[in-house]
Structure 1
Amino acid sequence: MARHLITCTPAHGHVVPLLHIARHLMARGDEVVFLSSPRYADRIAATGARFVPLPPEADVDLDDADATFPERAGLTGPAALRFDMSNLFIRPGAAQLAAIRTVLGEHRIDAVLTEPLFVGAALLQRLPQRERPPVLVLGIFPLGVRSRDVAPFGLGITPRPGALGRARNATLRLVAERVIFGGVHREADAVSRRETGRDLGGFILDWAGRADAYVQFTVPAFEYPRSDLPASVRFAGPLPAPSSDAPLPAWWSDVERAGTVVHVTQGTIANTDLGQLVMPTVRALAASDALVVVSTGGRPLDALPAPLPANVRVAEYLPYDRLLPEVDVLVTNGGYGGVQQALSHGVPLVVAGQTEDKVEVAARIGWSGAGVNLRTSTPSPAQVGDAVARVLGDTGFRERAGRIGAEMRAADAWTALDRVLGSLVAAHPVADPVPGE
Structure 2
Amino acid sequence: MSKIIVAAPPIPGETLPMLRLARLLAARGHEVTMLAGSGYRGAAERVGLTFAPLSGLADYDIGEIMAERDRSGLPPGPAQIAFDWMHLFVNPMPDGHRALQELLNRDPDQYLVANVLFLGAFAAAKGAPGRRPRRWVGVSVMPLVLGGESPGAMGMVPAGPGGDQRAADAEFATHMRPVRDSLGALLRQLGADGDLAPVCDAIVLEPDATAVLTVPGFEFHRADLPKTVHLAGALPAHEGHDWTPPAWWPDLGGSRPVVAVTQGTLMNGDLSQLIEPTLTGLADHDVTVVAALGGRDPAALSIPVPANARVDRYIPFDRLLPHADVFVTNGGAGGLHQALAAGVPVVVAGTTEDKPANAARIAHHRLGAVLGTATPSAAAVAGAVTTLLADPEIRDNARRLAKVYAEHDAVALIEALALT
Question: What TM-score comes out, normalization by structure 1 length?
Answer: 0.89
- How far apart are 1:151 and its partner, in Å? 4.5
Aligned counterpart, 2:199: 204
* Alpha-carbon distance in 2 for matches of 1:368, 1:123: 38
Q: 5+ unaligned residues in a row in structure 2: which ranges?
A: none
Aligned counterpart, 2:357: 360
* Alpha-carbon distance in 2 for matches of 1:307, 1:317: 19
Classify the secondary structure of the residue corresponding to 2:190. Answer: helix
What letter is aligned with 1:73?
S
Classify the secondary structure of the residue corresponding to 2:265. Answer: coil
- The question of whether the paired residues in 2 share the 8 Å contact of 1:271 and 1:296 is answered with yes
- The question of whether the paired residues in 2 share the 8 Å contact of 1:262 and 1:327 is answered with yes
What letter is aligned with 1:140?
V
* Alpha-carbon distance in 2 for matches of 1:42, 1:362: 33
The answer to which of 339-348 and 50-59 deviates more is 50-59
- The question of whether the paired residues in 1 share the 8 Å contact of 2:248 and 2:310 is answered with yes
Q: Deviations over 1:342-362 (max 9, x none)?
A: 111211111101111222222
State the Cα RMSD in Å: 2.3
Give matches, 1:254-269, under 5 Å.
254-269=251-266
- How far apart are 1:337 and its partner, in Å? 1.5
- How far apart are 1:278 and its partner, in Å? 0.9
- How far apart are 1:291 and its partner, in Å? 1.4
* Alpha-carbon distance in 1 for matches of 2:69, 2:165: 34
Q: Deviations over 1:210-266 (max 9, x none)?
A: 121001222111111111101001222110113213322211222211422111111
Is 1:422–2:390 an aligned residue pair?
Answer: no
* Alpha-carbon distance in 2 for matches of 1:129, 1:96: 15
Aligned counterpart, 2:158: 156
- The question of whether the paired residues in 2 share the 8 Å contact of 1:5 and 1:112 is answered with yes
Q: 5+ unaligned residues in a row in structure 1: which ranges?
A: 424-437
* Alpha-carbon distance in 1 for matches of 2:305, 2:375: 20
* Alpha-carbon distance in 2 for matches of 1:152, 1:347: 24
Q: Deviations over 1:309-335 (max 9, x none)?
A: 221121112243332222111111112
What letter is aligned with 1:17?
P
Is 1:238–2:234 an aligned residue pair?
Answer: yes
Aligned counterpart, 2:48: 48
Q: Pick one of 306, 310, 320 that aligns with 1:313.
A: 310
* Alpha-carbon distance in 1 for matches of 2:161, 2:122: 27
* Alpha-carbon distance in 2 for matches of 1:251, 1:266: 21
Aligned counterpart, 1:33: 33
> Structure 1 residues 92 and 393 mapped into 2: Cα distance closer, same or farther (>3 Å)?
same
What letter is aligned with 1:84?
D
Classify the secondary structure of the residue corresponding to 2:121. Answer: helix
- The question of whether the paired residues in 2 share the 8 Å contact of 1:9 and 1:37 is answered with yes
The answer to which of 325-334 and 395-404 deviates more is 325-334
- The question of whether the paired residues in 2 share the 8 Å contact of 1:285 and 1:385 is answered with yes
Question: What TM-score comes out, normalization by structure 2 length?
Answer: 0.92
What letter is aligned with 1:13?
G
Q: Pick one of 345, 350, 355 that aligns with 1:348.
A: 345
> Structure 1 residues 109 and 157 mapped into 2: Cα distance closer, same or farther (>3 Å)?
farther
- The question of whether the paired residues in 2 share the 8 Å contact of 1:12 and 1:63 is answered with no
Aligned counterpart, 2:276: 279
Classify the secondary structure of the residue corresponding to 1:279. Answer: helix
Aligned counterpart, 2:74: 75
- The question of whether the paired residues in 1 share the 8 Å contact of 2:128 and 2:191 is answered with no
- How far apart are 1:180 and its partner, in Å? 2.0
Classify the secondary structure of the residue corresponding to 1:353. Answer: coil
Aligned counterpart, 2:211: 215
- The question of whether the paired residues in 1 share the 8 Å contact of 2:288 and 2:308 is answered with yes
Give matches, 1:86-165, under 5 Å.
86-127=86-127, 132-133=132-133, 134-149=135-150, 150-151=152-153, 153-157=155-159
Classify the secondary structure of the residue corresponding to 1:32. Answer: strand
> Structure 1 residues 109 and 44 mapped into 2: Cα distance closer, same or farther (>3 Å)?
farther
Q: Pick one of 328, 333, 353 that aligns with 2:325.
A: 328
- How far apart are 1:406 and its partner, in Å? 1.0
